Structure 1
Amino acid sequence: MKQSSPGGRSRAFVPGSPVVQSLLVLLSVLALAGTAAAHAVAEGDKGYIQEITGINLIPFVYLGAKHMVTGYDHLLFLFGVIFFLYRLKHIGIYVSLFAVGHSTTMLLGVYYGWNVSSYLIDAIIGLSVVYKALDNLGAFQRWFGVQPNTKAATLIFGFFHGLGLATKILEYEIAEDGLLPNLLAFNVGVEIGQLVALTIILIVMSYWRKTSSFMRHAYTVNVLMMTAGFVLIGYQLTGYFVA
């Protein structure tokens, strides 16, 4: 499926528009997020998980949902993925590919204890946001004359997003007793959180697309999203070389 882009449409930048103001606020928040990693594990949650053993499905479902809803890097990528998708069928395909990707590496990464630098993985996740913004802007077609396979890219970046989840779950130091059921419960929670976040995004997008400002500001919004991705990359690489 070819995704449309704002190329050829009006790209007027209206600084006073509510959409642009809201996204500027979002970008400012991301730029100031240097005190915590994108997937930071709350100390209260970490302490609770370290104290319990055995199968605890409900707590892990809750933690998975909380992690996804508060994971702004995941949400930025999803926002970019569905930005120019209008049919629920197409949205379902891309979201499913992303879910398969991050579920696979999350489960395998935790179960086998893959020791990967969270800074590098989170930098790649930031890169996924940059990639999606550039894709929405039609940059690859203009620069290289080719269109990357968007489905394959969504799946591949889903693998990295899942690995990012795995690196943070390992920080919980989950007990071996009941590990697999608890991981599956966490993954169910992640999917629930993703559906909740996606539903909210789609509701907002559906109203925005009905207005004339959507195509006027589509270019600006994706530039801001790309900038946010670069902010995430810079923060994580700084952490990697400084830590």
Structure 2
Amino acid sequence: MNDFIFYFKQGLAHILDIDGIDHMLFILAMVVFFDIKQWKKLLILVTAFTLGHSITLALSSFNIVQIDSSLIELLIPITIIITCFNNIIKTRKEQRTNYVFLYGLVLFFGLIHGLAFSNFLKMSLFESDSILLPLLGFNLGIEIGQLLIVTVFMILVTLILKTTSAIRHQHITIVVSVIIMLVSLYLLQGLLLD
């Protein structure tokens, strides 16, 4: 049980640590498009991301799937940029969102993020007989961290919308998406120049 708790804390710390800002940015980019009234769609979206990263986290941890970590690190900011761009386009056109496509896209991006999570998990593994408890603990820690990020962000957005009549949800979506996109472009530039 100590292994489980240790890796739970590792997963939680990884998602909430400033060094894991790319994953935090993706979560924010993923949820900014939604308001609190759309909590069911938001829950499906977060579940799709969870399913995606859980699959590749497990496959990579058991050495079934191996992809060069530098490629994965390069793909992470690209997933964020695509998500932000999609937010801006959908907000600007005010067209109906194809949620099945969106859930599929987030599931696919979750697969990519899971490979990055597995690289971190592998670096922190001890000589252990079983990888199952560390894997479960780490994944649960990531989930709790994601839920914290989503909850705090949604509360902030709701408070802003309730206290200011001049700001609409579309404004928040565009501003937050542009900021996240710029930070992600900066992260991508740093990776490309290394």
Deviation of 1:196 (Å): 1.5
Cα distance in structure 1, aligned partners of 2:26 and 2:41: 16
Cα distance in structure 1, aligned partners of 2:50 and 2:172: 29
- Which position in structure 2 is the counterpart of 1:100? 51
Cα distance in structure 2, aligned partners of 1:218 and 1:185: 33
- Which position in structure 2 is the counterpart of 1:20? none
Question: If you compute each CA radius of gyration, which structure gives the higher value, 1 or 2?
Answer: 1
Residue 72 in structure 1 maps to residue 21 in structure 2: yes
Q: Indicate the larger mover: 167-176 or 102-111.
A: 167-176
- Which position in structure 2 is the counterpart of 1:61? 8
Cα distance in structure 1, aligned partners of 2:173 and 2:150: 19
Amino acid at match of 2:15: M
Cα distance in structure 2, aligned partners of 1:68 and 1:217: 23
Residue 130 in structure 1 maps to residue 81 in structure 2: yes
Cα distance in structure 2, aligned partners of 1:127 and 1:183: 26
Deviation of 1:72 (Å): 1.4
Distance 1:113 1:152, change over 3 A: closer
> Unpaired runs of 5+ in structure 2?
none
Query: 1:31-64: CA deviations, max 9, x gaps?
Result: xxxxxxxxxxxxxxxxxxxxxxx96111111111
Matches within 5 A, 1:19-168: 56-70=3-17, 71-86=20-35, 87-112=38-63, 114-138=65-89, 149-168=101-120
Q: Which has the higher helix share?
A: 2
> Unpaired runs of 5+ in structure 1?
1-53
- Which position in structure 1 is the counterpart of 2:192? 237
Amino acid at match of 1:60: Y
Q: Is the contact between residue 127 and residue 233 of structure 1 (CA under 8 Å) also seen in structure 2?
A: yes
Deviation of 1:113 (Å): 6.4
Distance 1:181 1:75, change over 3 A: same
Distance 1:179 1:55, change over 3 A: farther
Pairs aligned (count): 183
Deviation of 1:203 (Å): 1.1
Cα distance in structure 1, aligned partners of 2:98 and 2:39: 22
- Percent identity of equivalent pairs: 27
Q: Is the contact between residue 31 and residue 150 of structure 2 (CA under 8 Å) also seen in structure 1?
A: no
RMSD: 2.5
Query: 1:71-97: CA deviations, max 9, x gaps?
Result: 211121111111121211011000000
Structure 2 SS opposite 1:96:
helix
Amino acid at match of 1:194: Q
